[in-house]
Amino acid sequence: MINVQDLHKSYGKNDVLKGISTTIQDGEVIAIIGPSGSGKSTFLRCINLLETPTSGKIIINGQDVTEKKTNLMKVREKVGMVFQHFHLFPHKTVMENLTYAPMKVRKLTKAEAEKSGEELLKQVGLYDKKDEYPSRLSGGQKQRVAIARALAMQPDIMLFDEPTSALDPEMVKEVLDVMKSLTKTGMTMLIVTHEMGFAREVADRIFFIDNGQLIEDTAPQAFFKNPSTQRAKDFLDKVLNI
């Protein structure tokens, strides 16, 4: 369970997050949408503390991760993240990308890490690429490897920061399919996305963030049919009626 209490984040005088509070249950899939620069990504990055909140609390599975003495690395082990630009390790093969953190952090043996790596690669349909370097993969393949790399740490929560925004249109589906199959495993997922169809289909709740505030938190059907705020209406008008 993730419990966020009055989360603020500012850069100097620029307030990016202006008091976000919410609770996310285990196994929930949350799609976070909203205009560019509204603070969606910052919100996501606060949860695994890639950004340090200015104030407020984030409690993950009963542990306040914003407290100073919290071991950041222990928190991050359990919170996987997938980035817009993949950030695979270019000097490591696909398999090495998957086994590096499990061996370093979870102290698995090479054989154990490779065994689970192979399973994950099969799961994302890239087993035949295991010895390639990332530069040889397409964008969609890179992102699927990045998802597998995050899953290799056996996280409780997965964060996706616009995972398909940097992809060519024909590669979006292969990544969304992997994510869709992941939602069926009961993984808690927070997904910042511009894919409205996907959000509507897989999400349990939609977070609409605008101007640093969580202004709607509703079920997808209700949100897309009948958003309760004018700002969400305007936003949907713009992104859905192109």
Residues at the contact surface with other proteins, assessed by CB under 8 A: 48, 50, 72-77, 79-81, 83, 85, 87-91, 100-101, 104-105, 133, 135, 146, 149-150, 153
Least distance between other proteins and beta carbon 106 (Å): 8
Least distance between other proteins and beta carbon 105 (Å): 5
Least distance between other proteins and beta carbon 88 (Å): 8
Q: In terms of CB distance, is 106 or 200 closer to other proteins?
A: 106
Least distance between other proteins and beta carbon 70 (Å): 13
Q: In terms of CB distance, is 43 or 83 closer to other proteins?
A: 83
CA-CA distance, 66 to 71, in Å (whole number)? Answer: 10
CA-CA distance, 214 to 223, in Å (whole number)? Answer: 13
Q: In terms of CB distance, is 72 or 222 closer to other proteins?
A: 72
Closest CA relative to residue 152, chosen from 103, 195, 201: 103
Q: In terms of CB distance, is 48 or 193 closer to other proteins?
A: 48
Least distance between other proteins and beta carbon 236 (Å): 31
Q: In terms of CB distance, is 62 or 90 closer to other proteins?
A: 90
